[in-house]
Amino acid sequence: MKLLFLFLAFFISVMMIIMSTNPILAKAPETVKIVFAANRIGNREIYLMNPDGSEQVNITRNKADDVTPAWSPTGESIAFSSNRDGILDLYLMDADGGNVRRMFGKSAQRADPTWSPDGKQIAYKRREQGKGFIYIATIESEKEERIAIGSGPDWSPDGNEIAFLTGFPERVQISILNISTHKQTVLFPKPVRPSWMGGGVAWSPSGKKLAFSWLHKAPLKDFIEMETVYTVNRDGTGLQQIIPEVGPKVTSPIWSPQGDELLYIQADDVHAALPINLQIFKIGMNGGEPTQLTHIGLGHHLGGWFDPAYALPVLPQPHLLTTTWGEVKKQ
């Protein structure tokens, strides 16, 4: 028995050393990073940058279009969409762009991934027969579950709900789906009237508010540039306009991990007449002037804001080994 214990101790020690030094293991960023997509070299790539817009780095470097990136809760992985295999589908990669792999063996038109807070599942939009549907799947699994009609899903911080957009093309509303019961309710706006929301909906870190862009002046086609960013409470009350309706249109808000700032997409002043020249801006929730973070490239798409101080702890494989060793000693 003593020899067995010595062998197990030696084995666990070796495994822990290997795991701590193996470069294959994914690592989360050690500093705050924003992930986004943009067309800067003739195709859309995925980039990382600091919250002030500095150190913008291309991490995909592929001839295909790579879009809709989303941080995993641990920051170790990024889910994204790419047409590198002929159809826009979902992929995973490490935080530095390495170890790219497909999520599903069977191809389908999938995009807009959002992670469950525990990092075990994703929700996403799957396009079928010209319509968008919200699906849920377990990471690295082939099993998919269709849960709703819509697009732009975002998983709530408590893991109990998914917010998404329904009612396309001219009666767009925010809907909430309860994960356990699959009950779906319309959150905002209550009246069914001409309404457009571009770029999805985003939960605040506390789960008490949602941010979205909204155009509600009819006819919609005459007021396209007046779409702007709002927030609303989880119960549908407390509508607050964050950015004035002065144009160009503002879409795709993303919260900072602290909930005190929003990122959003807007055409810059220099190229306002070119809607494709969308750039990334940042604004504080307490007011103040917005800051433009990107200045080059076309068609920017926001993915997410990762802060290691607010991240789900990295999967503790060495801790699991230690726990296993403790159980062996009890025996």
Q: Which of the four pLDDT bands, split at 50, 70 and 90, describes residue 186?
A: very high
CA distance 58 to 284: 27
Among 307, 225, 199, smallest CA distance to 261 is for 307
Are 69 and 36 in contact, with CB atoms under 8 Å apart? yes
- Label residue 164 by pLDDT band (50, 70, 90): very high
Using one digit for the tens of pLDDT, what is the confidence trace for 222-258?
999 999 999 999 999 999 999 999 889 999 999 999 9
Say if residue 3's pLDDT is above 50: no
d(C-alpha 331, C-alpha 325), whole Å: 10
What would the pLDDT profile of 171-182 be if each residue is shown by its tens digit?
999 999 999 999
Is the Cα torsion angle 266, 229, 173, 304 positive or negative in sign? Answer: positive
User: What's the full length of the chain, in residues?
Assistant: 331
pLDDT of residue 246: 85
- Output the pTM of the full model: 0.85
Please determine, for residue 324, whether its predicted confidence score (pLDDT) is greater than 50: no
In the three-class reduction of DSSP (H, G, I as helix; E, B as strand; rest coil), residue 326 is classed as: helix
pLDDT at res. 204: 98
Poorest-pLDDT segment among 18-22, 53-57, 139-143 = 18-22
What is the pLDDT averaged over residues 75-93? 97
Q: Provide the pLDDT confidence category of residue 25 given band limits of 50, 70 and 90.
A: low
How confident is the model at residue 4, as a pLDDT?
41
pLDDT at 318 over 90: no
Instruction: Write 53-59 long-range contacts (CB < 8 A, 24+).
Output: 53/280, 53/291, 53/292, 53/293, 53/294, 56/294, 59/93, 59/96, 59/97
State the average pLDDT over residues 30-56: 97
Asked if pLDDT for residue 14 goes beyond 60, the answer is: no
Query: Edge-to-edge strands of the sheet including 250-255?
Result: 250-255, 261-267, 278-284, 291-292
pLDDT band at 314 (very low <50, low <70, confident <90, very high): low
The residue to which tokens 């195709």 are assigned: 43
Select from 308, 306, 274, 278 the least CA-distant residue to 293. 278
pLDDT at 274: 52
Please tell me the predicted confidence (pLDDT) of residue 141.
82
pLDDT of residue 180: 95
CA 64/CA 66 separation, integer angstroms:
6
How many beta carbons lie within 10 A of that of residue 19, not counting itself?
13
- Percent pLDDT > 70 in the chain is 85
Given a cut of 90, whether residue 330 has pLDDT beyond it is no
Residue 273 pLDDT: 52
The label of the residue with tokens 């500093």 reads 31
Q: How confident is the model at residue 92 (pLDDT cuts 50, 70, 90)?
A: very high
**pLDDT > 90: percent of the chain:** 76
pLDDT digits (tens, 9 = 90+) for 263-304: 999 987 654 555 568 999 999 998 889 999 999 998 899 999
Cα–Cα distance for residue pair 331/328, rounded to 1 Å: 5
